[in-house]
Chain A
Amino acid sequence: MTAASKITAMTLTDRAKRAANVAAEFADNVDVEGRFPSEGMDALKAERLMGIMIRPDFGGEGANLTEVADICAILGQACASTAMTYAMHQIQIASLADYAIGSNWHEEFQKRICAEQLLIASATSEAGIGGNLRNSICAIEVEGDTARLTKDAIVISYGAHADATMVTSRRHPDAAHSDQVATIFLKDQYTLEQTSVWDTLGMRGTCSDGFIFKAEAPKEQILPRPFAEIAAQSMLAVSHLLWGALWYGIAADATARAQSFVKAAARKSPGQVPPGALRLAEASSLLQLVKSNVVAGLKQFAACKGDGDALNAMSFSVAMNNVKIGTSQTILTIINHCMLICGIAGYKNGTPFSLGRHLRDAHSAQLMISNDRILGNTSTMLLVNKQDTSLLG
Chain B
Amino acid sequence: MKQTIRTILSKHGNLPVSIETVSENADLYDAGLSSFASVQVMLALEEEFDVEFPEHLLNRKSFSSIEEIDAALSEILKDQAA
Interface residues of A (CB under 8 A from B): 134, 171, 175-179, 226, 228, 232, 308-309, 312-315, 377, 380-381, 383-386
Binds A, one of B2-10, B55-63, B72-80: B55-63
Task: Enumerate chain A residues within 8 angstroms of B31, measured Cβ to Cβ.
Answer: 176, 179
From A177, A178, A226, A309, B61 is in contact (CB under 8 Å) with A309
Partner of A377, one of B17, B35, B55: B35
Q: A312–B60 contact, CB under 8 A?
A: yes
Known contacts: A309-B59, A385-B58. The answer to whether A228 contacts B30 by CB under 8 A is: yes
Q: How far is the CA of A313 from the CA of B17 in the complex (A)?
A: 26
21 A–B contacts from the bound complex (CB under 8 Å): A171-B30, A176-B30, A176-B31, A178-B30, A178-B33, A179-B29, A179-B30, A179-B31, A226-B30, A228-B29, A308-B61, A309-B59, A312-B59, A312-B60, A314-B58, A380-B35, A380-B39, A383-B43, A384-B39, A384-B58, A385-B55
Cβ of B23 within 8 Å of any chain A Cβ, yes or no, is no
A377 to B42 Cα, complex, angstroms: 15
Q: Which residues of B contact A (CB under 8 A)?
A: 16-17, 27, 29-36, 39, 42-43, 46, 53, 55-56, 58-61
**Number of contacts between A and B (CB, 8 Å)?**
56
Nearest 5 Cβ contacts at the A-B interface: A176-B32, A312-B59, A312-B60, A314-B58, A179-B30
A171, A308, A314, A377: residue with the most chain B Cβ atoms closer than 10 Å: A314
Q: Contacts A178-B34, A232-B60, A384-B43 given; 7 further ones with Cβ under 8 A?
A: A171-B30, A176-B16, A176-B32, A177-B16, A226-B27, A383-B43, A384-B46
- A380 to B43, alpha carbons, bound, how many Å? 11
The residues of B that contact A314 with a CB separation of less than 8 Å are 58-59
Which residues of B lie under 8 Å from residue A312 when comparing CB positions?
59-61
Contact B36 A380 (CB under 8 A): yes
Instruction: Give the chain B neighbours of A309 by CB distance below 8 A.
Output: 59, 61
CB distance from A140 to the nearest CB of B (A): 15
CB distance from A134 to the nearest CB of B (A): 8
- C-alpha spacing A316/B53, complex, angstroms: 16
Task: Give complex CA distance A315, B33 in Å.
Answer: 19
Contact across chains for A315 and B55 when beta carbons are under 8 A apart: yes
How many Å lie between the Cα of A176 and that of B35 in the bound state?
15
CB within 8 Å for A176 and B43 given contacts A313-B59, A314-B58: no
Cα–Cα distance between A177 and B34 once the two chains are bound (Å): 10
CB distance from A40 to the nearest CB of B (A): 36
Q: How far, in angstroms, from A146 to B8 measured CA to CA in the complex?
A: 40
Query: Are the CB atoms of B16 and A313 closer together than 8 Å?
Result: no
Could you say which residues of chain A place their CB within 8 Å of the CB of B30?
171, 175-176, 178-179, 226, 228
